Structure 1
Amino acid sequence: MDLELTGKKVLVTGASKGIGRGIAEAFAAEGAIVGAAARSTDILNEMAAKQEAIIPLAGDLTDEKQREAVFQTFLDEAGDIDILVNNLGGSNGTSVLETDMEDFYHAMEWNYFSAVHLSKLAYEQMIKKQEGVILQITSIFGRESGGKPTYNNAKAALISFTKSLADEAVKKGIRVNSIAPGSILHPSGNWQKRIDADPEKMKAFVKQEIPAGRFGTVEEIANTALFLASPKSSWIIGASINVDGGQSNMNM
């Protein structure tokens, strides 16, 4: 199936490892021009050496000025933006009482404000041509209880923002959606560390918590992103789509 992504200008954040890297490389394989943004200069350069379509964009996207600089560099290099994928994020803290307020603030900057800011920057550009796609990578734990409070709070806020922006932006020809992954296994992720530490415990977790009977893969999230970014998903607006092997307990 031709997803009509050849030549599209795509910016992916948190693109040096895991889901973000998988998404960036998948878009490049589809013929898109991809800005891969993250802090890890060496890894980004390695990715660009393997796929000429990848533009390495090094910067700390939790910092407002660096976000603006990275975004402008992408526009200068690519000439435009058609698709934004806000994948940057992560988990910190422990229980509510044991987590410092500084960690709550950082979690929001990391998972939420960076995505809001870049969405606004991309939206302003996309309005000029009355088309574009913005995707947020959230979590099933932004839709229901689970995981660390800082992470849950920020991802829930991002899902809510996605719907608000989607209803506004579709009037300008721009589609906005979010992908809510479940437990995704990749070499640099927390699940791999937990498997290494206690493989039997993780086998029990998978059996009890994931109806599909296995962890998800980066490729499965990337394939969803490709579809949602393509014209094939033209009637999906403001959705939060679980990609979790049935792990979520919600019935919608």
Structure 2
Amino acid sequence: MNLNLKDKVVLITGGSKGIGKAIAMGFQEEGARVAIVARDRKALELAQSEIDGISIFQADLTNENEREKVFKDALEYFGTIDILVNNVGGSNGSTTAETDLRLFHDAFELNYFSTVHFSKLVLPHLKAKQAGSIINISSIFGRESGGKVTYNSAKAAMISFTKSLADEVIKDGIRVNGVAPGSILHPTGNWQKRIEQNPEKMEQFVQDEIPAGRFGTAEEIANVVTFLASEKANWIVGATINVDGGQSKSNF
């Protein structure tokens, strides 16, 4: 299927590895002009060596000033941005009782406020052309319990923000949607580490928790993201789509 993404400018946060890297590869294969932003210079350079033609920008995305600078740098380099993918994220802490309040702030800064901030930064440029797409990568655990409470809470806020912003800007030709991955296996992720530490436990986890009988792949997330960004998905507005092999317990 031709998604008509050739020469579209795509900015992806947290794009140097894992799901973000797969998303970058997906857009590059569609002929888009792709920029990735991350904190780790070595990871950025490795991604650049593996994905022909992508551009890299280094920034600490928990820092408001660095977010503003890297967005300005990307905009100056490309002249425009057509598609924003807010992918950067991470978890910390443990239970609510055991987790310092500061870690909740940190989790929201990385997972949620970076999404809000980059979205606000790109909106004037998308409104000027009356076109564009913003896609927010959250998690199935933004809709139900599971994993770290700081992460879940921030992703829940992201899902709510996605719908709110979508309704606000669709009149300007801008579509905002989200993808909520389930348990995704990739070389640099936590699931790979857990498999190496206790393969039997992880095999049982898959049998018990994922009806499809396996972990998902980063490429399977990327396929949904590229579709959502395309004109083929023009009537999808404000949705956050579970991509999880049936793992989610939520049925709405």
Q: TM (normalized to structure 2)?
A: 0.98
Separation (CA, whole Å) in 2 of partners of 1:61 and 1:114:
6
* Cα offset, 1:52, TM superposition: 4.1
Matches for 1:196-215 after TM superposition, within 5 Å? 196-215=196-215
Superposed CA offset, 1:197-245 (max 9, x none)? 1100101000010000000000000000000000000000000100000
User: Counterpart in 2 of 1:20?
Assistant: 20
User: Counterpart in 2 of 1:122?
Assistant: 122
User: Counterpart in 2 of 1:226?
Assistant: 226
Among all aligned residue pairs of Structure 1 and Structure 2, give the percentage whose two residues are the same amino acid.
Answer: 60
User: Counterpart in 2 of 1:235?
Assistant: 235
* Cα offset, 1:54, TM superposition: 0.7
User: Counterpart in 1 of 2:247?
Assistant: 247
Give the secondary structure class of the aligned counterpart of 1:128.
Answer: helix
**Contact 1:210–1:247 (CA<8 Å) still a contact in 2?**
yes
**Is it true that 1:217 corresponds to 2:194 in the alignment?**
no
Query: Number of paired residues?
Result: 252
**Contact 1:5–1:32 (CA<8 Å) still a contact in 2?**
yes
* Cα offset, 1:79, TM superposition: 1.1
Give the secondary structure class of the aligned counterpart of 2:91.
Answer: coil
User: Counterpart in 2 of 1:177?
Assistant: 177
Amino acid at match of 1:126: L
Structure 1: which 5+ residue stretches go unaligned? none
Separation (CA, whole Å) in 2 of partners of 1:199 and 1:6:
41
Give the secondary structure class of the aligned counterpart of 1:194.
Answer: helix
* Cα offset, 1:77, TM superposition: 1.1
Amino acid at match of 1:206: V
Separation (CA, whole Å) in 2 of partners of 1:100 and 1:10:
36
User: Counterpart in 1 of 2:44?
Assistant: 44
* Cα offset, 1:45, TM superposition: 2.3
User: Counterpart in 2 of 1:6?
Assistant: 6
* Cα offset, 1:182, TM superposition: 0.1
User: Counterpart in 2 of 1:82?
Assistant: 82
Q: CA RMSD in A?
A: 0.9
Give the secondary structure class of the aligned counterpart of 1:61.
Answer: coil
Q: 1:52 to 1:213 in 2, by over 3 A?
A: closer
**Contact 1:90–1:107 (CA<8 Å) still a contact in 2?**
yes
**Contact 2:17–2:47 (CA<8 Å) still a contact in 1?**
no
Separation (CA, whole Å) in 2 of partners of 1:239 and 1:66:
29
Separation (CA, whole Å) in 2 of partners of 1:234 and 1:24:
21
Separation (CA, whole Å) in 2 of partners of 1:199 and 1:35:
36
Give the secondary structure class of the aligned counterpart of 2:10.
Answer: strand
**Contact 2:184–2:215 (CA<8 Å) still a contact in 1?**
yes
Separation (CA, whole Å) in 1 of partners of 2:202 and 2:58:
34
Superposed CA offset, 1:26-67 (max 9, x none)? 111211111110011122223323434311100101100100
**Contact 1:32–1:53 (CA<8 Å) still a contact in 2?**
no
Hey, which bits of structure 1, 4+ residues long, moved more than 2 A? Answer: 45-53
**Is it true that 1:69 corresponds to 2:69 in the alignment?**
yes
Amino acid at match of 1:92: N
